[in-house]
Structures are given as C-alpha cells and as structure tokens.
Structure 1
Amino acid sequence: MTISTPLQARISAIGSYVPSRILSNTDLQTMVDTNDEWIVQRTGIRERRLAADDEFTSHLCIAAVQNMLTRYPASLDQVELIIVATHTPDLPSTPVACQIQAHFGLPETGAYDLNATCAGFAYALHTASALVAAGVHRKILIVGGDALSKITDHTDRSTCILFGDGAGAVVVEREADQPAFLAHHLGSDGSGGKHVYRTGLSTQWLGTPLTGDGKLVQNGREVYKFAVTTVPQGIQKLLEKSGLPQTAIDWFIPHSANLRIIESICEKSGIALEKALYSLEYYGNTSAASIPLALDLGITEGKVKAGDTLLLYGFGGGLTHAGLIVRWG
C-alpha cells in the first residue's frame, strides 16, 4: 500500500462543554430495572450529563465554541466555514452550524451540518483537513455535538444507561511546515443500518420495517460485532497508509461507545488499554461529541502534549466508521 502524503493542516484550538445536570447509575436504578454494578460491568459508564429541558444541541455547541474562544482568543478570526457533526439538530431543516454562525456573528462564513452519527466528528475532521490542505479554505471550525437525551427512551434499560449529551469544538487551519494529518481511512456498511437507528419520515430501512417512535433503537450485540471487527482492520490500514509502526501512536482516542468495545478493539489491535483515552465514564456515550470530549480531557489532564501522535476512530449508525492519525500541537 502506498504511504499517504501528510495533509498540510493542523488542529490549532479546542474547546468542550457538557451540561450541568448529572444522571448517575444510582438515579437510573429508580427509573429502570438496573443497578450500578451491572451498568459499570457492561459499559464502564458511571454517570452521564443531560441537557436541561430548554437546552438543545445548538446550546451545547455554542458553549463548546465559547469555551474554545476563552482558551484561544483568536481561534475564530478568519474562519471561513463551519461544519457541525450531529444527528440531533434542534430543527430538522435548519443547520446547527447556522445558529453558531449567527451567535458569534462570523461574517462571510459557510455553514452546514454533517450526519455520520457517532463517526461524525471523524468525518468532519477528515473533510475539513482535506479542504484546508487543498487550499479551498484557510480555516474551518468543526463542532461535534449531540443531545441524545432528547431521543432516548428512558424506560428502555438497554439504551438509557448509555447515552449522554455534550459537545466539542476544534479549529483546523493551514500548516505547511509541519503537516499534522498523517493518514485517514473511511468506510461504511449500509446493510447494517437497521441495527442502530431512529425512525423519521420513514419507518423502513431498505424495506425492513422499523419501530421506535423516533427514539434511539440499538441492537447492541450487532453494533459490538461491527465495531470490534471493523475498527481493528481500519487501524491496521491507517498504520500502513501513514508508514508508522504501532509504537509511534501515543494515544488512541476511539468513539466512547462502551468500555467493553474499547477493550476488545485494543486487544485485537495490540494497543495497550492504557493508551486509550475515552470520555464515557462520567459523560456516557455522547455520539459525535465523544472523541473531542476525550481529547480535551486528555489535554486538560496533562496526558496529551504537543508533538504527540493521536489515532482517532469513530464508528456508529449507518453503519459508518472513520479514522485518522493526527499529530497534536
């Protein structure tokens, strides 16, 4: 396989946000037939954050961008495009990206939402890095955010124990001297879309009748099988494309779906679990927000440092998956 040419782009800023309301495993014991030990053993999740009744994806995303702006005051200067990865927009026909553009008053800025569910942030990062490296845009704001509590059936213990709300934002801009995007790999398996979905205008997937009344429905066993087979294969392809040995990866940041999935992926890939960064323990599965939340936790905790090589990998509904190897800082 030919080694990829690094893309002349880098991540220059990051911010994140989670709501203040906490839904603990103990709280869930009063809602469904479950307990803390059962949830932790099967998922690794102890708490998740839930948006307030009047708080939606746009609010989460705007707060994440504001957090980034506080830490990197010039991060929004000359931004030309906003891409929001989400599958829970406030309104079906109005992009969350447009609400961000209006809130921050960014002039002459394109804006659109991208839906690749839990792989959305990785897809958006790939899109932005390619556009910047190609010279189409100089600076792009990416936000991954989801308000999954709005579409979760809190009487279904198979799903309500998993999902939380949050958002993470990054800026991608031109970098010619030390290109930071070293490799990418994308894929999908549309035949598996029936295994994780929510109904909308249609209640069918390729002719298969679906249920759920607009709430998240997931076949956990099938999603597990997809992730633990597909992601290790994708990791191998990323390493081949980058020309890097596995030992060159400082941190592995997968979608924080479930700790058991992450453990299996690490075992099959030969990556030490100690190198995995995840945000699920206290935030739950936050879909498109989980990777930037985990990255920002790694940075604020002093784990991720300038020059570190990161392997990011998202996977989710569709079924979709996407991975990148990126040098931080």
Structure 2
Amino acid sequence: MIRRAVPLGIGHYLPDRIMPNSHFEKLVDTSDEWIRTRSGIERRHFAAEGQTTSDLAVRAARSALDNAGIDVSEIDGIIVATSTPDLTFPSVGTMVQAELGMTRGFAFDVQAVCAGFIYALCNANAMIVSGQADRLLVIGAETFSRIMDWTDRSTCVLFGDGAGALILGAEEGAGTSEDRGILATDLNSDGRYREMLYVDGGVSTTGTAGKLRMQGNPLFRKAVDKLTSTAEAALEKTGVSADAVDWIVPHQANIRIIQGTAKKMGVPMDRVIQTVQDHGNTSAASIPLAMSVGVADGRIKRGDLILSEAIGGGLAWGAVALRW
C-alpha cells in the first residue's frame, strides 16, 4: 500500500463582470468573428474595481470546502498558484489563510504562469505522499486584466480573471493505475524561450507591475509540441495509454492549441473539457476552473482518469494524471 493524494472537493469562482468580445471592438481593431476564429473565446470575466486575486481565491476555496464537506481547521496547508498577486509580498496564500480563519499549518505561492496549477499540484502531491501533510488546499487564482495592454489586440482579448480550488487528501492506494488520486506528474521548463511570453516590468527592473507581452505564432508552435510530449510522459509513468483517459482537462489558452494537442494524442474532442469560450485564458486558474465546471455538470465522475497539461511563461510546462 502507498499514500496517494486524492481529490476530496473542488470549487471555483468567477467575477460578476462579464466582457463579451464586442467590448473590445471599442478599444482595438478587432471583431467578435476575429477573436472567435483565432482563439475560440466568446466572453471572459473581469474582476471588479478593488477586487483582488486573494478575494477570488477565498471564494473558490470556500466553494471547495463546501463541496468536500470539511472545515478549514482540517486543512494542513494552502498552495496558491498565481502570477498576479495582490502585493509583492506577503503571499496570496497567507492572505487566503487569514481570510478563511485558518490559524495552523502553512501557506505559500507558486509562480509558473499558466503552468502554475500543475506545478502547485506536483508540490502538493509530493507533500502528501511524503507524509508532510494530510490535507492540502490547492488554488489557482488570477487577475490578468490588471496586466493587459489595452492597445495590443493580440493579447488583450485573450485573458480573463477567475479562481479554482482543489482539496487533496491522503488515502491508501494499491500502487496501481486503478488507484484514486494523483498517479503521475511531469514538469519541465526552458528559460531560453522567456521572450515568447513575459511581462515587461517587475520589482528589480522597472518597479512597476508591467504589461503582458507575447509572441503568438512561435508560442503556438511550441505549445502543441510541449503539451503533447508532457502529457504522453505523464501517461507513460502511469502505465496507461491515451485510450484509457476519460477526460483531458487542459489549460484553456486557445481552442486551436487544445484541438492540436488532442489530435496529436489521438483523443477525440468529445473527451476534452472546454471552457475557453466562456472564461478566456485565466492562466493558473484555468485548469481548476475547468475541472470544477466538469464536476459540477456531471461529466467528471468518481473513478474517471483525468489528464491535465499546461504551458506558460518561462517557458514552463507540465502534466498531471489523476483518477477522480
């Protein structure tokens, strides 16, 4: 028998303010058709004035706790994946900890941009498997609307705000691919490609938050290749083929990337959870958001094999295979 990090509950939160594609026609030279054709996005949510990343994260966390039917006092730690923290420090994790009334355990942030939730899951899995923690709250939360250049039509139409949260708990497994919980992980990065996706500001450079910059076409080509390879690596470690996967829950960056990756893996699109049309690219929040939607609408069921993969600035990419 071995320890596994098993999903106990999941939840999400989206800000009330919904921005349809038509909103951007007033800002830049674009159209609803142009955005849909190139990204698959139809609408996205933006945080209200004064609403912060930690606010979104707390709402998602409470939703996950309710879904799991457990009290925050039973949580050993909080890991928040975000690239848009409220402040340079302290971490969003500690802000969530305080707001939830959690006075024990630990909290910290992970920053791997759009791959952040995958990196956070890998950290949480290692802590649970090693016995350092029994129950962890893993959150992806972003307010990317705060780092957009509203004159750049190639980026400002793509991103949205939101948060998703997953609670993992330690359970005994037989050590086979039929176990519930995280079965395999795969992490990668290559700093040579940082200019493909970055923010042009920071504490030790400009002293400002900066704005997001992206080289769309080169990033697209890298994304499909890297996402396919990391997904296949995670499956190989699990010992199963893509045919055994019930649902792919990918990073929701762009419908063409999602379709391209699924095609290379030989997985039909009817086994892919898609929320990019409603949420846009919410960076580290996109995978837990999509997972939560899939659970809420009944598609993801107990025992299903889930494969999630993501790539973000760094470049950083990775995948997780887990049985729900």
Bigger Cα displacement from structure 2, 238-247 vs 307-316: 238-247
Helix, strand or coil for the counterpart of 1:8? strand
Structure 1 position 152 matched with structure 2 position 143: no
| Post-superposition offset of 1:278 | 2.5
* 3-state DSSP of counterpart to 1:125: helix
Give the stretch that moved more between structures: 172-181 or 316-325: 172-181
Residues 203-282 of structure 1: matches in 2 within 5 Å? Answer: 214-282=210-278
Identity of aligned residues (%): 40
Q: Is the 8 A contact 2:64 2:167 kept in 1?
A: no
Instruction: Check whether the contact 2:68–2:167 (CA below 8 A) recurs between aligned residues.
Output: no
- Deviation, 1:166, is 0.2
TM-score (norm 2): 0.94
SS of 1:102's partner is: helix
In the other structure, the counterpart of 2:182 is 181
Describe the SS at the equivalent of 2:234: helix
Contact 1:87 1:146 in 2 (8 A): yes
Structure 1 residue matching 2:72: 3-state secondary structure: coil
Deviation at 1:262, TM superposition (A): 0.6
Q: 1:201 aligns with which of 194, 200, 203?
A: 203
Could you list the per-position Cα deviations for residues 243-290 of structure 1 after superposition, in whole angstroms to 9, with x for gaps in the alignment? 102111000011100001111111111111111112211111000000
Name the counterpart of 2:50: 54
Give 1:9 shift. Answer: 1.6
Distance 1:213 1:132, change over 3 A: closer
Deviation at 1:76, TM superposition (A): 2.5
Give the distance between the partners of 1:213 and 1:139, measured in 2 at CA: 33
Contact 2:249 2:272 in 1 (8 A): yes
SS for the counterpart of 1:14 is: strand
> Does the 8 A contact of 1:227 with 1:261 survive in 2?
yes
What corresponds to 1:18 in structure 2? Answer: 14
* 2:176 counterpart residue number: none
1:6 shift after superposition: 7.4
**1:39 matched residue in structure 2:** 35
Gaps of 5+ in 1: 205-211
Post-superposition shift, 1:107?
2.0
- Cα distance, 1:179 vs. partner? 4.4
Contact 2:121 2:138 (8 Å CA) reproduced: yes
Pairwise CA distance, 1:201: 3.2
Taking structure 1 as reference, are residues 162 and 75 closer, same or farther at Cα in structure 2, changes over 3 Å only? farther
Q: TM-score, normalised by structure 1?
A: 0.93
Partner of 1:117: 113
Please state how far the C-alpha of 1:237 moved relative to its aligned partner: 1.4
Tell me if structure 2 keeps the 8 A contact 1:7–1:180. no
Distance across 1 between alignment mates of 2:18 and 2:224: 29
Report if aligned partners of 2:250, 2:309 keep a CA contact under 8 Å in 1. yes
The structure-2 alpha-carbon separation of the partners of 1:16 and 1:227, relative to structure 1 and needing over 3 Å to count, comes to: same
- Give 3-state SS (helix, strand or coil) of 1:304's partner: coil
Q: Are the aligned partners of 2:203 and 2:209 in contact in 1 as well (CA < 8 Å)?
A: no
1:309 and 2:305 are equivalent in the alignment: yes
Does the 8 Å CA contact 2:231/2:318 hold for their aligned counterparts? no
Amino acid at match of 1:76: V
2:97 to 101, 107, 110: 101
| Greater Cα offset, 33-42 or 226-235 | 226-235
- Asked whether the 8 Å contact 2:248–2:307 carries over to 1, the reply is yes
Kept after mapping to 2: 8 A contact 1:21/1:51: yes
Q: How many residues align?
A: 317
Which residue is 1:192 aligned to? Answer: 193
2:65·2:71 contact (CA, 8 Å) conserved in 1?
yes
3-state secondary structure, aligned to 2:80: strand
SS at match of 2:154: helix
Letter in 1 for 2:190: D
